[in-house]
Amino acid sequence: RLYPESKELYDKQVEKLIETYTDRDGFIGYHESSQLGSAVYELVEDAKRCVEAGKKQKALYMSEAIIEGMIQVIDYADDSNGEIGGCLEEAFEVLEELAQADLDKSLHTEMFRWLLQHYKAKTMKGWDWHNDLMRIAISMVKTEAEKKRIRTDLEQIKPTGEYWDWDYEHAQDLKLQLIRQTEDEAAVLRFMEANLDNSDFRKELLEKAMREKDYDRAEQLA
């Protein structure tokens, strides 16, 4: 089943499914979560077929509606079987495919803005999908303006001074991804060297030093 190119239509489709399986207290039980997940998974499969058929706008609208709907209910559902989370994962995979597809300028801009809008609004904060939004947006960067917007958003995340500062560390990782995509290897190394408090960066630099037989530097990093 393929639906018309209208995001509002898909929003309503997902909302109707959610209403069907939500009880009067606003909770979705174990069996209902499974049923909801199965129904939404059919929409995900439609979105995948749209990508294959070149109907990218439909695929984007469907994926956005699924993600927005499922992220709203996942905290109010018994998703022990992972059906709802699985739908989110699959919908994000569709977005990743679209990010690497040859989108026209209008659709590229629309998808890029949607990703950053939800990242900035922290719609999916507390889930890995929050950082997936930015990761996919970075993979789409084509212009200096897009690069600047992402850098500006990431610069808003400041270190808290806590030992496990996950938000700041993820922001550093995302900045590195942006640099890898838009600058040269020298810039990548400079950024990692300037942020040795990031254990992932230290590990990568240590492995590089070992490959180059720079054992003094490897020992220092270790």
Digit-coded pLDDT (tens) for 146-193: 999 999 999 999 998 887 889 999 999 999 999 999 999 999 999 999
pTM: 0.92
Write down the pLDDT at residue 163. 77
Angle between helices 199-211 and 185-194 (to 10 degrees): 120
pLDDT grade, residue 6 (50/70/90)? confident
Q: Please tell me the distance from the alpha carbon of residue 96 to that of residue 87, in angstroms, as a whole number.
A: 14
pLDDT for 5 = 67
CA distance 160 to 174: 18
In this predicted model, what pLDDT tens digit does every residue of 195-211 receive, in sequence order? 999 999 999 999 999 99
Dist. CA 157–CA 125, nearest whole Å: 13
What mean pLDDT comes out for the span 47-74?
97
* pLDDT over 50 (residue 3): no
Mean pLDDT of 33-62: 97
Amino acid letter at 123?
Answer: T
